[in-house]
Structure 1
Amino acid sequence: MNAFQPGTEPDGAMPSASDTQSRPRHVEESSATALRPHAEDQYAEELALLAAADDRPRPPGWKLSPQAVVTYLLGDGAKITPKYVGPRRLMEVAVSTLATDRALLLLGVPGTAKTWVSEHLAAAVSGDSTLLVQGTAGTAEEAIRYGWNYARLLAEGPTAAALVPSPIMRAMRTGAIARLEELTRVPSDVQDALITILSEKTLPVPELGTEVQAVRGFNLIATANDRDRGVNELSSALRRRFNTVVLPMPASADDEVEIVARRVAQLGRALELPEVPAALEEIRRVVTIFRELRSGMTEDRRTKLKSPTGTLSTAEAISVITNGMALAAHFGDGTLHPADVASGIAGAVIKDPVSDGVVWREYLETVVRERSGWLDFYRAARDA
């Protein structure tokens, strides 16, 4: 069996432009006006600073050393901003995994920054976070392996020119990091298409009598959570190909407040929302409510609570505050008030109108109503 060699295609054809560069030109040209720039574009200056000062050994194909990648993720307290707030050891394990022949599985409940960490890892290691497969119940094997341009296939038969590479195949060819979101939502038979890729580092193309061999630097980051319905468990054979890192919810309220405040500020700038002062008080209120309802206990450990059906993740807290800022800026007096976040919190908590509605009303009457300084919020939430 022949193999794809770097820089060549089967049948002696030269690689196409899309194969010789991992990111299309239009992505780079539009990054300045993109609503949400890719991590490697948004933090290009930080990545350049780290690369210039990085004198440690780099694994083959890496843009930065493993130590510099961890610094990029956690920040240095000066010019490098934190992308992840959590245990340093988790990021060290994740980064070191990518330097081995094992793939990385980021596991955690929704809202624990799995996708965020995955994107920033790929940006720091490969300089490209766009080689992405979004897993769904309808994901086909072609999304992981390759597909065909059927017009050319009918006209020419199976040729290299008719083959449409998946993001994972492109990552194998270029020695980059591929990403697969929501792996456990992908059907089990499609998941198993990864086994040969991860164990043999090859992707057979039997229609052409050849295979793609992964270039050094290739690896895969997958994300998954165990709270969604319709989850497809990984086979033991596939699970063995991954090193699993579990991302926890923020350990303390202060950590979660810091995460929410930072992301809200970033989103506000990206969305060009007018600056809303004095948001920290409402951020802490939202975080307190979410943490208490998640844990089923008030902060002082004196009152047990019913928990709603939803996860009340950090990501949802960020969404509630961002929406409140938009309300305050465009329909209020420019200051974030309890009324600006009350309806958003109610919407996040009440996923099931019956059971969650009871949980929320009980929480308002037994906790919020009696809490000092929360009367305005209680009234706004009750009205909402």
Structure 2
Amino acid sequence: MTTETTTATTDSSLLRPHAEQAFADELRALAAVDDRPRPPSWRLSPWAVVTYLLGGTLSDGTVVSPKYVGPRRLMEVSVATLATDRALLLLGVPGTAKTWVSEHLSAAVCGESTLLVQGTSGTAEEAIRYGWNYARLLAEGPSDGALVPSPVMTAMRLGSIARVEELTRIPSDVQDALITVLSEKTLPVPELGTEVQAAKGFNVIATANDRDRGVNELSSALRRRFNTVVLPLPASEDEEVAIVTRRVEQLGAALELPAVPAAAQEVRRVVQVFRELRSGITADGRTKLKSPSGTLSTAEAISVITNGLALSAHFGDGVLRAADIAGAVLGAVVKDPVADGVVWTEYLEAVVRERADWADFYRACREVHA
């Protein structure tokens, strides 16, 4: 699988460009060769959207970099859902690229990924429906000028995609504000005696993680409005290594970190540690392990390696070594100092210590865990 990316036409001073900015060249190239039917208001056909997500080489030779590594069918189902009147719920454990996929889906479908509601325990109904400019409200009373549209209302007017992150962290009564929007494609504004009807192309992509099922579970009425796609953890070690390597390269370039050669060994080591502790068994199947309380996701592996690259580039000899990643691995594994500390110590002594080619990693981890 290629890891090449086309040059993005975006402001190089931005720390984290939006998907439609970072991959503008790829989106333009896809639009130029895309001769398949497009749903109303879509910038690309469903086929082109999936190609943008999974990568490939276009008929004009343009290389489209993969944004998601995983089963093609999951992306096809996700894209097909957005072409219907059903909303899309991306579900999975933390770190399975739900937000990443949501952003890139929105960028490819409507060229706009910023119509976003970030779900928290404090998210108010105004974030989904609308609010008011209270200075104008007091001066003029309810009026179009005093109304402050939510990202969802804006998406309805434009025929675009609205994104709702961490849906299950939003209070249940606020979640239910989506029911009328999703079922009737209408958002009433009783204060003005009017309503906003969704333009063709409008839809909602929501994300939620499996660990939050007990926070604010979705009502059956709301869940029925979504088609749920479960994003799994990477199926194999090689697949996860490829994902981590690609994202680390992209982040390193964005952060302007000096290039660090020969990082492949440590990337694979971190991925193996995370996969073994997640699954509760060593890669060879011989030793059962206790799992820590954290998720040890692919996203956390990317963070560990990126942190190690910064250490190596700025405080080391320019080669990523075990000592550069040991502290970040410890921080990722040991979330609960007592219970997770026991899990990590047992793993170090029973597994890492017995691997002759991991002696440097064992020493580095013992030093930071002393």
CA distance in 2, matches of 1:232, 1:141: 15
CA drift at 1:33? 1.7
Kindly indicate whether residue 326 of structure 2 is the aligned counterpart of residue 346 of structure 1.
no
- Aligned partner (choices 95, 103, 106) of residue 111 of structure 1: 95
CA distance in 2, matches of 1:297, 1:66: 40
Q: Is residue 277–residue 336 contact of structure 1 (8 Å, CA) maintained in 2? A: yes
CA distance in 2, matches of 1:300, 1:98: 41
Q: Is residue 10–residue 22 contact of structure 2 (8 Å, CA) maintained in 1? A: no
CA distance in 1, matches of 2:264, 2:228: 35
Residue 351 of structure 2: SS of its match in structure 1?
A: helix
Q: 1:139-182 deviations in whole A, cap 9, x for unaligned?
A: 00000000000000000000000000000000000000000000
Residue equivalent to 2:357: 373
Q: 1:230-258 deviations in whole A, cap 9, x for unaligned?
A: 61010010000000000000000000000
CA distance in 1, matches of 2:82, 2:188: 23
Kindly indicate whether residue 51 of structure 2 is the aligned counterpart of residue 67 of structure 1.
no
Q: Which runs of 5+ in 1 are unaligned?
A: 1-28
Kindly provide the amino acid, as one letter, of the partner of residue 118 in structure 1.
S
CA drift at 1:31? 4.0
Residue equivalent to 1:14: none
Between the two proteins, the alignment pairs up a number of residues equal to 356
TM-score normalised by the chain length of structure 2: 0.95
337 and 313 in structure 1: CA distance in 2 versus 1, 3 angstrom threshold: same
After superposing on structure 2, the runs of 4+ consecutive aligned residues of structure 1 that deviate more than 3 Å are 29-32
Residue equivalent to 2:33: 53
Residue equivalent to 1:281: 265
Q: 1:273-307 deviations in whole A, cap 9, x for unaligned?
A: 00000011000000000000000000000000000
Kindly indicate whether residue 330 of structure 2 is the aligned counterpart of residue 330 of structure 1.
no
203 and 187 in structure 1: CA distance in 2 versus 1, 3 angstrom threshold: same
Kindly provide the amino acid, as one letter, of the partner of residue 52 in structure 1.
A
CA drift at 1:30? 8.0
CA drift at 1:34? 1.1
Kindly provide the amino acid, as one letter, of the partner of residue 33 in structure 2.
A
CA distance in 1, matches of 2:212, 2:238: 27
CA distance in 2, matches of 1:349, 1:168: 37
Kindly indicate whether residue 227 of structure 2 is the aligned counterpart of residue 247 of structure 1.
no
Kindly indicate whether residue 18 of structure 2 is the aligned counterpart of residue 34 of structure 1.
no
CA distance in 2, matches of 1:94, 1:31: 30
TM-score normalised by the chain length of structure 1: 0.92
CA distance in 2, matches of 1:38, 1:73: 15
Residue 86 of structure 1: SS of its match in structure 2?
A: coil
Q: Which runs of 5+ in 2 are unaligned?
A: 1-8
Residue 373 of structure 1: SS of its match in structure 2?
A: helix
CA distance in 2, matches of 1:345, 1:229: 27
Residue equivalent to 2:170: 186
- The alignment yields a C-alpha RMSD, in angstroms, of 1.1
Residue equivalent to 2:122: 138
Q: Is residue 185–residue 230 contact of structure 1 (8 Å, CA) maintained in 2? A: no
Q: Is residue 168–residue 213 contact of structure 2 (8 Å, CA) maintained in 1? A: no
Kindly provide the amino acid, as one letter, of the partner of residue 117 in structure 1.
V
236 and 228 in structure 1: CA distance in 2 versus 1, 3 angstrom threshold: closer
Residue equivalent to 2:6: none
Q: Is residue 282–residue 337 contact of structure 1 (8 Å, CA) maintained in 2? A: yes
Residue equivalent to 1:232: 216
Q: Is residue 37–residue 45 contact of structure 2 (8 Å, CA) maintained in 1? A: yes
Q: Is residue 92–residue 208 contact of structure 2 (8 Å, CA) maintained in 1? A: yes
Residue equivalent to 1:159: 143
Kindly provide the amino acid, as one letter, of the partner of residue 28 in structure 2.
A
